[in-house]
């Protein structure tokens, strides 16, 4: 079966025009999401599914879904605050959605084949879709407990306009994920407590790059900058799962909701890495870290927008994408 692309789009609002997910960045007003869908089709994906809010359905179908008609089968599912297992209710005062893995869980009734989960506002690149598409397509029919994550090289995921948050990944000799540590501030800067004379303006030996750039660093728990390898894999929320993942998520979400601290904390969220970490830690599943040469980009900061427009235009000029996608 061809794999399915599952886009997390429940963060979109009805006044979509001002949201970065639907900002026209391509030469004909294409969004970052359009390029992801185009790349997925090129990589052999056979269906597109979005998770959105129910109150956005009519506008979504008219202004977004319509452009893909005739290109690829499409389906919608819906995330709502009260979409909870039987016996649970929304805590008083809770307004924040339940998180990315709750959004994934909403696809259980419409996805029955291997699938890739992505954010709708990140530009992942063709090679990333090729890698995850190949992994999912090559799984034997009925496969379970064998998942994947595209590990972007950290140096390919930075913003020139400030720090970024990334899940820094560790893996074993089989390239199976062993740990993801969320680092909320990563950027090129001078490491803290660097011995005098170790770093010159012309070279950055700790960074391991050949362009004379400052090394990549993350801010640790003590607020100090520590060097990070250029090519260390980081998570950009591009995951590959099989349908058994829904069953695990359903069961663990009940555990999550049964924990008083998660119900008392009105901002507690059920994240994908939380679920994946549980499954790999207990030995239930493996998650292969796939390498990609793709360079991520997006609009993390307002100042990123023009650079993103220029990078897309360059890809069009080079023939990677047609001038008009759909």
- Pair 50, 76: CB distance under 8 Å: yes
d(Cα 326, Cα 322) in Å, to the nearest integer?
9
Task: Kindly report the pTM of this predicted structure.
Answer: 0.89
Residue where the block lists tokens 């080079």:
318
Rounded to the nearest integer, the mean pLDDT of the chain is: 90
Q: What is the pLDDT of residue 207?
A: 47
Average the pLDDT over each of 169-183, 244-258, 300-314 and give the range with the smallest value: 300-314
Distances from the Cα of 229 to the Cα of 127, 214, 215, 232, 309, angstroms? 22, 12, 8, 5, 28
Give residue 109's pLDDT: 95
- The pLDDT tens digits of the residues spanning 2-49 come to 999 999 988 765 434 445 667 789 999 999 999 999 999 999 999 999
Tokens of 163: 């720090």
- For the cut 70, the answer to whether the pLDDT of residue 121 exceeds it is yes
Q: Using DSSP, state whether 64 is helix, strand or coil.
A: coil
Tell me the C-alpha distance between 39 and 127, whole Å.
9
């Amino acid at each position: 079966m061809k794999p399915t692309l599952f886009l997390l789009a429940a963060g979109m609002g009805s006044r979509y025009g001002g949201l970065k997910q639907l900002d026209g960045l391509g030469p004909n007003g294409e969004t970052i999401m359009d390029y992801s869908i185009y790349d997925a089709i090129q990589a052999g994906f056979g269906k597109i599914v979005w998770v959105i809010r129910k109150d956005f359905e009519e506008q979504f179908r008219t202004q977004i879904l319509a452009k893909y008609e005739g290109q690829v089968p499409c389906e919608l599912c819906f995330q709502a605050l009260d979409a909870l297992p039987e016996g649970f209710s929304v805590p008083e005062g809770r307004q924040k959605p339940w998180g990315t893995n709750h959004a994934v869980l909403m696809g259980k009734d419409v996805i029955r084949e291997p699938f890739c989960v992505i954010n709708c506002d990140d530009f992942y690149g063709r090679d990333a879709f090729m890698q995850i598409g190949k992994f999912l397509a090559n799984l034997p029919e009925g496969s379970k407990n064998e998942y994947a994550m595209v590990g972007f090289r950290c140096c390919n995921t930075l913003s020139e306009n400030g720090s970024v948050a990334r899940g820094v990944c560790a893996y074993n000799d089989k390239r199976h994920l062993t740990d993801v540590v969320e680092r909320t501030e990563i950027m090129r800067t001078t490491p803290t407590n660097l011995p005098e004379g170790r770093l010159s303006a012309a070279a950055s030996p700790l960074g391991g790059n050949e362009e004379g750039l400052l090394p990549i660093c993350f801010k640790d728990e003590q607020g100090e900058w520590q060097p990070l390898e250029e090519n260390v894999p980081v998570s950009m929320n591009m995951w590959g799962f099989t349908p058994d993942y829904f069953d695990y998520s359903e069961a663990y979400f009940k555990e999550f909701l049964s924990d008083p601290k998660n119900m008392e904390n009105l901002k507690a969220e059920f994240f994908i890495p939380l679920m994946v970490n549980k499954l790999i830690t207990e030995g239930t599943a493996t998650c292969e870290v796939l390498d990609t040469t793709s360079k991520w980009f997006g609009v993390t900061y307002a100042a990123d927008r023009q650079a993103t427009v220029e990078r897309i235009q360059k890809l069009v000029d080079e023939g990677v994408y047609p001038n008009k996608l759909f």
